[in-house]
Amino acid sequence: TTCNGVYARDRFYFLLDPFSVDSLRGFIPENILLKGKLVSAGIFEDIKESLTVMPDLSLGFVHYMPEGGQPIYSGKGRFYNTVTLSNDCFRGNGKLDYITAELKSADFMLYPDSAFAIVDRVLIEAQVGETEYPDVEGSTSSMLWDIASNTMSFNTIGGEPYKLYNNLLQLDGELRYSPEKMSAGGTLINGQGKITSGDFMLKQKVFTADSCS
């Protein structure tokens, strides 16, 4: 399956090892075991696995990552636990480490140009240095990772604001996160005070806004 054209056949495919079949008499689909490797259009390095019949009757596999995880998208992040290939596309179940963030979900949708998930919570550690970030804590959120720009964006599902700067500020809006910067669009709340802007720049100790109200 190409999942409605999301996966190009010349970049995302399963390369089978040579095999032979003695006879189709008595053939049992559940006994299929075809060794080979998945070439995943740069999502992961080639994954050595065996194709079997999945619950949706497609050929696929469940692959268990090594204990230390595996680089994802050419090392832009690191993924832990399992990935599954079937007619239901290419999905992950586990933990994704990205810069200083730790994100967990039972269903990461993994595409060549992006990844999407409903993550259990958003936890980002503060970072100081050439690139600065404040600490961020948030509840269940949608996460979209654009690979070309290497930027993640988060929006809360339950409507609870994100807590920033050890909860000195709260963000009601979208959080955007990359190796170069952290930005946001929405309303920053400090007690009874509120500032709204489409482009907050968030650093470890201060924030700025292009325009606000």
| Nearest alpha carbon to residue 36 among 58, 64, 16 | 16
- Region 127-137: mean pLDDT is 89
For the four alpha carbons of 46, 49, 50 and 55, in that order, the dihedral sign comes to negative
- Whole-model pTM above 0.85? yes
Q: What pLDDT, on the 0 to 100 scale, is given for residue 23?
A: 54
- Region 135-159: mean pLDDT is 95
Q: Return the exposure string of 43-82: e unless at least 16 CB atoms fall within 10 Å of the residue's CB, then b.
A: bbeebebebbbbeeeebbbebebeeebbebbeeebbbbbe
For Cα atoms 153, 154, 158, give the angle at the middle one, nearest 5 degrees: 160
Given a cut of 60, whether residue 159 has pLDDT beyond it is yes
Res. 162 pLDDT band, cuts 50 70 90: very high
Residue-by-residue DSSP string for 66-84 = PTT-EEETTTTEEEEEEEE
Q: What pLDDT, on the 0 to 100 scale, is given for residue 211?
A: 54
Least confident of 1-5, 20-24, 72-76, 157-161: 20-24
Given a cut of 90, whether residue 5 has pLDDT beyond it is no
Q: What pLDDT, on the 0 to 100 scale, is given for residue 131?
A: 87
Using one digit for the tens of pLDDT, what is the confidence trace for 169-194?
999 999 999 999 999 999 999 887 89
Q: What pLDDT, on the 0 to 100 scale, is given for residue 27?
A: 53
